[in-house]
Amino acid sequence: VDDLKPWLVEVCEAVDAALAARVDGAWPTAFGPALRYPLFPSGKRIRPAIALAAFEAVGGSSREGAVLLAAAVELVHTYSLVHDDLPAMDDDDERRGRPSTHIAHGEATAILVGDALLTEAFAAIADAPLPAEARIQAVAALAHAAGFRGMVGGQAADVGLGGPVTDVETLTRLHAGKTGALIRASALLGGLAGGASAEALTALTTYGEAVGLAFQLADDVLDAEEDAADDGPPAFPKLLGVEETQRRAEAAMRQATAAIAALPHPERLRDLAWFAVHRTH
Ligand code: IPE
Ligand code: IPE
Ligand code: MG
């Protein structure tokens, strides 16, 4: 885990450069700063990190292609946060300690920023210097993860479309969509960029699902001291208690680690699973 930090810095630099290039040249020119706003300064970039670690785990060689696929996942993630903060959704004025995109640039612009980032994700995959077959599979995997089968479905459950969430099973399913799907897609896209075998892709999928759950359980433990929202689904600690939530996060981390143990270079993925559970923000 010691050399995870410098590696993460390197990943961030590569992904930031790719993201900056993707949103360069916006029209009208005034749209440019709004498009860049939610991308920089960055969040943890955990999804691109997982994608690049998966790429390394399978011994991939087209790093440029992997970086573009990693950036694609981050574009979808960033769009999801911009729309999630909108007044009609969570109505959050702040994101990463500064005004949310709709506060800084207005609501209509924030909706368009989200639309543009989501669309650009698929252009980034199409443009990646990778075999056509890998790009098609990546488009399918990311579309599946981002849409109603994944993140959007989870958000729909989160706003109450499925009725109140009162049990661990439903809450787990909600998060498998809302948070899990994009994390799982990160691992999968990294593998696809690295030319992974079907077997390796299955291992990466299992890893991604387990890390996604671990990440969310850890997130809820981190937020446990904060006031619980009075609307929306409960956090895991409310249903399980903080200790059991922490225990399940650790268990999911071990499951993730076990899934990728047989890959050629699993170390970085292992470190990231650890980081997902032991991070402080
Ligand atoms: C926040 O995701 C929203 C969830 C899905 C829990 P991250 O914690 O990855 O957000 P950033 O990108 O690092 O800010
Ligand atoms: C945001 O979820 C996750 C997505 C946009 C998919 P939350 O509402 O739970 O997370 P924060 O608190 O806004 O980061
Ligand atoms: Mg929110």
Q: What is the distance between the alpha carbons of residues 59 and 96, in angstroms, rounded to a whole number?
A: 34
The finding on whether 216 has its CB within 6 A of some atom of ligand 2 is no
Encode pLDDT of 177-207 as tens digits. 999 999 999 999 999 999 999 999 999 999 9
Cα 268 to ligand 2 centre (Å): 26
- Matching residue, tokens 């993630």: 77
Q: Which own/partner pairs from 165-168 qualify as long-range (CB within 8 Å, at least 24 positions apart)?
A: 165/233, 165/234, 166/234, 167/239, 168/236, 168/239, 168/240
Encode pLDDT of 247-270 as tens digits. 999 999 999 999 999 999 999 999
Choose the residue to mutate in 84, 152, 174, 231 for probing ligand 2, maximizing ligand atoms within 8 Å of C-beta.
Answer: 84
Determine the atom of ligand 2 nearest the C-alpha atom of 83: 5
Q: What is the distance between the alpha carbons of residues 151 and 162, in angstroms, rounded to a whole number?
A: 15
Per-chain mean pLDDT for the chain = 96
The finding on whether 84 has its CB within 6 A of some atom of ligand 2 is yes
The finding on whether 220 has its CB within 6 A of some atom of ligand 1 is no
Token duo for residue 212: 């996604």
Encode pLDDT of 79-108 as tens digits. 999 999 999 999 999 999 999 999 999 999
Segment holding 66, helix H or strand E: helix 63-84
The finding on whether 219 has its CB within 6 A of some atom of ligand 1 is yes
Residue 225 has pLDDT above 80, yes or no: no
The finding on whether 135 has its CB within 6 A of some atom of ligand 2 is no
Cα 92 to ligand 2 centre (Å): 10
